[in-house]
Structure 1
């Protein structure tokens, strides 16, 4: 960043640049060793840097490991289930995997060899299983390389860690859904994208080509921003249901401080400001019960939720890079290849802005996260969005109908092309999907641009209807249980 002043004056008259460190070249923590890294104008030596990052990691994770978060007193770590790590192959998720292995797998074995007493409770593993899940996106965007084998090799370097690969088209695969929730939960919807009410009908028979359904879904989206937003949502929900399948009580994501600031600003720009709390930390509960679920089993009842945590939310991108460099970690790398217009979507522009901001003003990125953490949504929750499975704000559709010009189902009946057979069936059974969506997902499906994006696939044709992910139909059609109905009307019941 250039200095302030008149370029025509002498160089001695220009304002001097602020030094990268404040007072001393020595470590601010140990006060003895010379510094090796500058973090927001504070100097740290290599040894103190490692302890600092490990402390930030534990501070962000361990208070939320137990089912009931710890108060002032520290208790033993006793999670309700296993641990699932969402792995992208990028810098943050690689550092997260290394920290988890150091803290909860490798260190336990070192303590056992040093202290003995293998049956002592302090040597028990915090999580019985640690699973790494990778979602491959190469089939969604052209030009990307399949990296499942590379990721598997990188994960195999860590002892005691399982690897579960997924592909993003599994979101449209009835077989994948059937393996988790059984035959009764398998159904799919197709929606009509010609109107803002998003009329939907059940598909019969089920889709047998998940890749074709995925590409049809992405090709039908109106903007480049919508495509990126849809891929983020698909990946996130795939990880959540995989956590439910593996009986995991915690899902860890390698979102660094810089990445979190980007996600927060991007979400607000795309209309997801109501879910800003879930972007930082989230409690997720599946509405669909697996076939072996017993509602009378209290232990099973306590393990049904998944807590989504970002343990690196206080660790910046620079700190992650130095950790990986000094520890010689293998970074598979996220493939950033997309389509020609991908850099002009909201997420790409936000990333460029935040990365430039962090370079010149490193403290501003943490200020963004701290400020967003203080925000709370306004309005009541009307339920969960059936597409992204996050809270939906009450009254969004009424408010949106008052401020925008919308196309309804009646206005397009005369001009719309013929719908597929599943959507021409019994109109009385048609569902208006708009009332089941949050504002961000409804905008993703319906927001139009004056300049349409270039086609994702040369062979794919844009249609007026498309198949939705496999988790949408079961959530719309699910039957409400007696306990849930009683909980809903509990405050209106009169005691005898």
Structure 2
């Protein structure tokens, strides 16, 4: 059987087929790096008029999850910086700080994330800096940005504890506290809240490092999954804020997705070709075998894994269509106490008003439930209301009334 030649150079043997196009290794590496550098074009080395000295580099923060896409993006950024140093005699258009949120307290990993970060620091320490943020900082930090659960009366008694740590008698700081995420019984809601917590931590890290731009390694496949996932979770209003480049996620920080034109399979192949597969750390979690036990995110990962191989245009259509959505919440005053998304109105009040809550003859001297429902309470968006409704914990807004409580109101 004749070996297939690379379609780009027509000389070398193809080693990978992407979007029905065969690539040799050098052409594929050049192809993927070109997509990343297209998104990073605003951060090239610039020289002010009538000056031979370049503009000082901008500090960028990379949210490094140690997944295939974020590790691949780290390598691309390092090579990008090395090319700038060589071309501009040591000058660069940006500097990189990679921040990893250590989630080993809630998920067991095949190896220590801290060890992988140390290895990456040894390899790239001369080009970029690294930082590790423990997940418990979300509860221990007293700043305004991290004070989301500050209304809980027993906040100090909670932590993030994995099942492995709970069985370890030496892990005393964890075993004496209760895992806050265990108070959420729904697996989809638990993952949803964990994602919100991680994003809050990296945004606060960007503010701490005085970085105006936060880089995410989300691929086109991941962004497409997020669009459908947010819709299913009742967070459709936050789609523009979750996938759009240069969106202000804080007063001084905008987000950027340099991998938004790259498929998940392409990012994984790129990391393997460059010899970075050993730095990819994944939670050692057995996926649910029963379909009804899978989370919304698990279902969408499986769906797009099959779709992107045969029909890559569907993935790009989802992302580009969603990217055209108008952000209708940007000018709104109220913001969700958990995820920070702007709210058009009080969702809990809306949920109460779509049903009949009062008798036909209402006493005008007594205030209705809808008037006092959110008084002196934090506002939660619809998605966070759904995520926290099954939590046996004092969240910023209490869960909705149980069936027994509603029936008791109508007993004679």
TM-score range relative to shorter protein:
0.7 to 0.9
Equivalent residue number for residue 381 of structure 1: 332
Give the alignment partner of residue 465 of structure 1, picking from 386, 394, 404: 394
**Deviation at 1:254?**
1.0
Equivalent residue number for residue 162 of structure 1: 129
State whether structure 2 residue 367 is matched by structure 1 residue 432. no
Instruction: Name whichever of 378-387 and 43-52 sits farther off.
Output: 378-387
State whether structure 2 residue 289 is matched by structure 1 residue 344. no
> Residue 85 of structure 1 aligns to a residue in which SS?
strand
CA RMSD of aligned residues (A): 3.7
Looking at structure 2, the residues matched to 145 and 466 of structure 1 have their Cα atoms a distance apart, in angstroms, of: 33
**Deviation at 1:186?**
11
- CA distance 1:79–1:440, shift in 2 (3 Å): farther
Alpha carbons 1:255, 1:310 under 8 Å: kept: yes
- CA distance 1:79–1:173, shift in 2 (3 Å): farther
Q: Per-residue displacement from partner, 1:184-240 (whole Å, max 9, x unpaired)?
A: x899212xxxxxxxxxxxx4x972764479954312224111100001000011000
State whether structure 2 residue 35 is matched by structure 1 residue 87. no
Which consecutive residues of structure 2, in runs of 5 or more, have no partner in the other structure? 45-52, 161-173, 358-371, 398-412
Q: Per-residue displacement from partner, 1:68-107 (whole Å, max 9, x unpaired)?
A: xxxxxxxx99688411111111100110000010102x22
State whether structure 2 residue 247 is matched by structure 1 residue 283. yes
Looking at structure 2, the residues matched to 260 and 29 of structure 1 have their Cα atoms a distance apart, in angstroms, of: 28
Alpha carbons 2:249, 2:255 under 8 Å: kept: no
1:179-218 map, 5 Å: 188-190=150-152, 203=153, 207=156, 210-211=159-160, 215-218=178-181
Q: What TM-score comes out, normalization by structure 1 length?
A: 0.62
Which consecutive residues of structure 1, in runs of 5 or more, have no partner in the other structure? 1-23, 67-75, 113-117, 191-202, 287-303, 407-426, 449-461, 469-496
State whether structure 2 residue 102 is matched by structure 1 residue 136. yes
The alignment covers a number of residue pairs equal to 354
- CA distance 1:30–1:345, shift in 2 (3 Å): same
1:192-271 map, 5 Å: 203=153, 207=156, 210-211=159-160, 215-271=178-234
**Deviation at 1:136?**
1.3
Q: Per-residue displacement from partner, 1:397-451 (whole Å, max 9, x unpaired)?
A: 4443344689xxxxxxxxxxxxxxxxxxxx9x97322xx22221122112x5xxx
Instruction: Name whichever of 152-161 and 239-248 sits farther off.
Output: 152-161
- CA distance 1:214–1:383, shift in 2 (3 Å): farther
> Residue 109 of structure 1 aligns to a residue in which SS?
helix
> Residue 157 of structure 1 aligns to a residue in which SS?
helix
Equivalent residue number for residue 40 of structure 1: 19
Give the alignment partner of residue 282 of structure 2, picking from 334, 348, 362: 334
- CA distance 1:349–1:405, shift in 2 (3 Å): farther
Looking at structure 2, the residues matched to 241 and 401 of structure 1 have their Cα atoms a distance apart, in angstroms, of: 34
Equivalent residue number for residue 310 of structure 1: 257
**Deviation at 1:363?**
2.9
Equivalent residue number for residue 73 of structure 2: 96
Larger relative contact order (Cα-Cα within 8 Å, sequence gap ≥ 6): 1
Q: Per-residue displacement from partner, 1:355-393 (whole Å, max 9, x unpaired)?
A: 122234333222221222223355763433221123333
> Residue 251 of structure 1 aligns to a residue in which SS?
strand
1:365-380 map, 5 Å: 365-377=315-327
